[in-house]
Amino acid sequence: MPDADGFYDTGINPASLRPGEMIRVKINDRVVVLTKSIDGVMSFDDTCPHGAASLSKGSLRKYRVSCPDHGYCFDIQSGQIAWPEDEFYRLSVYKVKIEDGKIQLRLEGSG
């Protein structure tokens, strides 16, 4: 159940998340990925908008996640496609906050 601002508690302590690690979390029948960078914790949809592969099985370099099936690459800050440049797919990214030692995220709208 979300809080008054629409955030869901993932039950994950941010200290347990290693930088660059991708963890899958299921919230309301939606599978999302949590990852940590020097800028903090970020979250995005686990399903590639191009071919529906699990992005958590792909690779993450800085702020770009690559799909394991076809190599499509997305910016996890904005959701914009990074490769191939002539495509129009967009990755859903989610707003994250840390409260009471737990990662919380809002599923509606892009972060």
User: Any idea what the CATH number is for the domain that residue 12 is in?
Assistant: 2.102.10.10
What percent of the chain has pLDDT above 90?
90
Domain membership of residue 40 (yes or no) is yes
Domain membership of residue 1 (yes or no) is no
Domain membership of residue 72 (yes or no) is yes
Domain membership of residue 111 (yes or no) is no
> Rounded to whole angstroms, how far apart are CA atoms 19 and 38?
8
How many structural domains is the chain composed of? 1
For residue 91, report the phi and psi dihedrals to the nearest 5 degrees.
Answer: -90, 135
Domain membership of residue 2 (yes or no) is no
Domain membership of residue 90 (yes or no) is yes
> Rounded to whole angstroms, how far apart are CA atoms 17 and 33?
11
What is this structure's pTM? Answer: 0.93
Domain membership of residue 33 (yes or no) is yes
**Residue 109 pLDDT:** 57
Q: Which long-range contacts (CB under 8 A, 24 or more apart) does 77-83 make?
A: 77/42, 79/44, 79/110
Q: What digits encode the pLDDT tens for the residues 33-72?
A: 999 998 899 999 999 999 999 999 999 998 999 999 999 9
Domain membership of residue 61 (yes or no) is yes
Write out the residue range of the structural domain in which residue 82 sits: 7-106
Q: What digits encode the pLDDT tens for the residues 92-106?
A: 999 999 999 999 999
